[in-house]
Amino acid sequence: MTVNQNPEQIARDTIDRKLIESGFAVQDRKHIDWKVSPGIAVREYPTDVGPADYVLFVDRVPVGVIEAKKEEYGEKTNLDIFWLKDKSLADLDNLPDPDVLANEIVENIEAALESFREIADIVNGNGNGKQ
């Protein structure tokens, strides 16, 4: 965190850190690199109603939107997280809860990262990739 940040900058740093800890690569909308990670959080992503603070993508598919709002009183940040429904699903009313989806996303990203680490070990000549 940098000195003299306004509350919005402090909130963005906090959100970025939490997204990174959750396995998302955080990127600006003008510099998206889809190869960095299966999970990407894009800042200020354009939508039909204006830019979203963050749009969450998994394998290039938008799965959620995060909007940070300042609370009425105090300096805390209130996060509104919207999970996007897949219109191709037959029964949209019986989707898992957002926390279940979030946990599944994290598990999938962690598994993908482990696979990438194994490939990197093989490429770098560090054995068979298993640690």
Structure tokens at 131: 């640690």
The model's pLDDT over 20-32, given as tens digits with 9 standing for 90+, comes to: 988 899 999 999 9
98 alpha carbon, distance to own chain's centre: 13
55-98 pLDDT, tens digit per residue, is 989 888 888 888 876 655 444 445 555 555 555 544 556 666 77
Long-range contacts of 26-33 (CB under 8 A, 24+ apart): 26/54
DSSP-assigned states of every residue in 36-64 = S-SEEEEEEE--TTS-EEEEEEETTEEEE
Say what the pTM is. Answer: 0.55
